[in-house]
Amino acid sequence: MNLPNQLTEREPIDPKLAVGSSLPNPKGLLAIVLALYLVNEEKDHLDYSDKSGNTIILKPSLITSLKAFFNGITGYNATEIDSLASANPLVEMQIEPLQVPLQLFWKIAKINILGTDSSSGERTGGVRFPKELFFTTNMDILKNVISNENGDITNTGKELIYSWLTNNNTPTSSVNIEQKLTKTLSVFSEETLFKTWNNSTEIIFQQEGIYNAFDTTNATVDIGGTKEIKGTLRNLKSSISKDIHPYLKISSSNVELKNPSLATQFDNYQKRVSNYLDLNPKSIEIKIVETEEEINVDDVTILNKIYYGAPGTGKSHKVNELLKGKEERTERVTFHPEYDYASFIGGFKPITEVDAESGKEEIKYKFVPQTFTNIYVDAWNNKDNEYYLVIEEINRGNCAEIFGDIFQLLDRNSDYSITPSNELKQYLVKELTSVDGIKGIENGKMKLPSNLNILATMNTSDQSLFPMDSAFKRRWDWEYIPINYEKSEENPSSHYQVVVSDSISFSWLEFIEKVNTIIKENPNLGMDKCIGNYFIKAKDNSITLEEFINKAIFYLWNDVFKDEDDHIFEENTFYEDFFPIATKGKEKVLKILEKIGLNTPEKED
């Protein structure tokens, strides 16, 4: 008996609420996707582009198919179709600003860089990679809108798509079908999530939130809020401004009803939207999800943030999960006692170059940028994307020396700027080339771009290495990463076993809970010295006795209980007494387990 397959569990959709996603030509984007779907015989997949230098173009076979599709309609011009090869949103726009309207706003197609599901491959402004489309059933609905009762595309439908493709006025004969198409697109976007700000408060909403904000005293709704519009909200603003909404119009960021005469129709439409959303609810948690597996950086405003906690709590792992898929727009650095301003920002260094005339090698001094300057330039030159600077073990370096005057720029709530050194200023003037990028050295001043986020990690056990002054600390948001003692599938460390021998093992989680309780109760120690869940990385949920002694026991002996009278070790025990591990080490570990009150495994026969 051939029964249906079990329900497919799908990953939650990343709403990309904080990603740059300008959509200057929504009608042009919709039209090219719809036209390609139709000439591709309504197949689910289309590899539509070829590489051409640093750009991409539509495949010539698709240009030929588009000409055949539109040939014969009023206003057709083959030259206009030829121009689409290199001038249409699918080949001009970066991948993430394409994903927002296609995947989230209208839900008409998934789009990937060919051969990968990464969304971070087009870091540089002019570089484009071949892409592929995976169409959804919403394309079937759009086709039906422009088809006759036999399912054939009408000439008025073709003429409408053609006018949107070529940025021409909609033919009079296609006005009615255009109204049907725009209303359908609006229905597609009713589930979409948007984000705006009321000062520091996030407001996550759907279009229903706009509809419900209208009342007898408020004829307009401000969707702009108090911060820069990003993500899907940019798409909504662009669509309303381009008349892709049956009831709304927009001026600046203020939305209102197109015409008072539409009030009754709009009221009924609003109620139908509400009824539909009741049947298709979204569970919305704002800043939202705290588990490492579910949280996504596009849902969270980061800017400057330090993740801190005991050694091994998973601080770096959390940062890595946050930035998964963003590696191309991430720079990483680890602070240490020898790290300084020149290592972080850059400075003049001797560079060997070959003289063009003599062919001889010459040593010249040039400004060589380092991690911070590189990502500063990238972020300013590509304002449509978020960029991330990750600083591991931030307190192991002298932050005051490393940041220097750049430290002032961490104050994100002001318009404060700094004057960089002459050599840095000259470098920035040369490298900041985009319209937005010039603002990064406007009037000779530096200011952090709003799309540059700085994340750092800090082990609290190391906090005395280079103390941070209060002025530096208050410019950061802080998030404590606690130790998780819960035994559950969501806590991988609850499955870790320390293998003492073939027949003896014990729970790593129970061990750290017992030991950390002792540490916290000692007035000279406290949470800073506790052991985190991932202090030792288990392989296949197993930790060998050698790893346990060389990492956990050594840390407890050398960094925690070394100078304490009250400890977990037997009297007159020294670290070297744990060797050889297989004999003495095993015996000492069993003694420790007995002393801390952990259920001692049964001894071997």
What does the alpha-carbon distance between residue 306 and residue 478 come to, in Å, rounded to a whole number?
A: 5
- Considering the domain architecture, whether residues 241 and 322 belong to the same structural domain is answered as no
Identify whether 5 is part of a domain. Answer: no
Under a CB-based contact definition with an 8 Å cutoff, are residues 187 and 179 in contact?
no
Half-sphere exposure of 552 (CA within 13 A, CB side): 29
Among the candidates 437, 452, 480, a domain finishes at 480
User: Hey, what are 249's tokens?
Assistant: 């119009």
User: Hey, what are 194's tokens?
Assistant: 């948007």
- Considering the domain architecture, whether residues 496 and 452 belong to the same structural domain is answered as no
Amino acid at 84: L
**Residue labelled with tokens 């600046």:** 252
Give me the domain span that covers residue 552: 492-596
Nearest alpha carbon to residue 131 among 97, 165, 95, 104: 95
Task: Indicate the pTM of the whole model.
Answer: 0.52
Low-confidence stretches of the chain (pLDDT beneath 50): 118-120, 123-125, 284-300, 463-464, 603-605
What does the alpha-carbon distance between residue 569 and residue 587 come to, in Å, rounded to a whole number?
A: 12
Under a CB-based contact definition with an 8 Å cutoff, are residues 570 and 589 in contact?
no
Nearest alpha carbon to residue 559 among 529, 599, 592: 529
The DSSP element (H or E) to which 42 belongs, if any, is none
- Considering the domain architecture, whether residues 435 and 507 belong to the same structural domain is answered as no
- Considering the domain architecture, whether residues 504 and 455 belong to the same structural domain is answered as no
- Considering the domain architecture, whether residues 267 and 161 belong to the same structural domain is answered as yes
- How would you class 215 by CB atoms within 10 Å of its CB: exposed for 0-12, middle for 13-18, buried for 19 or more? exposed
Under a CB-based contact definition with an 8 Å cutoff, are residues 500 and 545 in contact?
yes
- Considering the domain architecture, whether residues 387 and 506 belong to the same structural domain is answered as no
Interhelix angle for 155-165 vs 26-39, to 10°? 130
What does the alpha-carbon distance between residue 235 and residue 99 come to, in Å, rounded to a whole number?
A: 11
Identify whether 364 is part of a domain. Answer: yes
Could you give the 3-state DSSP secondary structure of residue 542? strand
Q: What angle do CA 433, 434, 435 make, to 5 degrees?
A: 125
Among the candidates 245, 279, 313, a domain finishes at 279
For residue 398, what is the domain's CATH number? 3.40.50
Task: Please report the pLDDT score of residue 434 as a whole number.
Answer: 77
Amino acid at 451: N
Task: Please report the pLDDT score of residue 504 as a whole number.
Answer: 92
Task: Please report the pLDDT score of residue 403 as a whole number.
Answer: 93
Task: Please report the pLDDT score of residue 116 as a whole number.
Answer: 59
- Considering the domain architecture, whether residues 463 and 550 belong to the same structural domain is answered as no
Among the candidates 457, 480, 503, a domain finishes at 480
What does the alpha-carbon distance between residue 58 and residue 36 come to, in Å, rounded to a whole number?
A: 10
- Considering the domain architecture, whether residues 500 and 468 belong to the same structural domain is answered as no
DSSP 190-208: GG--EEEEETTEEEEE-HH
Task: Please report the pLDDT score of residue 96 as a whole number.
Answer: 86
- Considering the domain architecture, whether residues 331 and 454 belong to the same structural domain is answered as yes
Strand order of the sheet with strand 504-507? 504-507, 497-501, 542-544
Identify whether 392 is part of a domain. Answer: yes
User: Hey, what are 96's tokens?
Assistant: 């993430």
Identify whether 18 is part of a domain. Answer: no
Identify whether 232 is part of a domain. Answer: yes
Q: What residues contact 496, with CB distance under 8 A and at least 6 apart?
A: 507, 508, 509, 536, 538, 541, 542, 543
Under a CB-based contact definition with an 8 Å cutoff, are residues 49 and 56 in contact?
yes
- Considering the domain architecture, whether residues 522 and 570 belong to the same structural domain is answered as yes
What does the alpha-carbon distance between residue 447 and residue 419 come to, in Å, rounded to a whole number?
A: 9
Identify whether 14 is part of a domain. Answer: no
- Considering the domain architecture, whether residues 436 and 568 belong to the same structural domain is answered as no
> How many domains does the chain divide into?
3
Q: Pairing mode, if any, of strands 542-544 and 497-501?
A: parallel
- Considering the domain architecture, whether residues 203 and 144 belong to the same structural domain is answered as yes
Task: Please report the pLDDT score of residue 293 as a whole number.
Answer: 33
Peptide bond connecting 281 to the previous residue in cis, omega within 30 degrees of 0: no
What does the alpha-carbon distance between residue 378 and residue 386 come to, in Å, rounded to a whole number?
A: 10
Could you give the 3-state DSSP secondary structure of residue 50? strand
Task: Please report the pLDDT score of residue 527 as a whole number.
Answer: 79
What does the alpha-carbon distance between residue 400 and residue 522 come to, in Å, rounded to a whole number?
A: 33
Amino acid at 261: S
Identify whether 349 is part of a domain. Answer: yes
- The phi, psi pair for 50, rounded to 5°, reads -120, 150
Identify whether 3 is part of a domain. Answer: no
Nearest alpha carbon to residue 352 among 342, 368, 341, 363: 363
CA-based end-to-end distance of the chain? 53
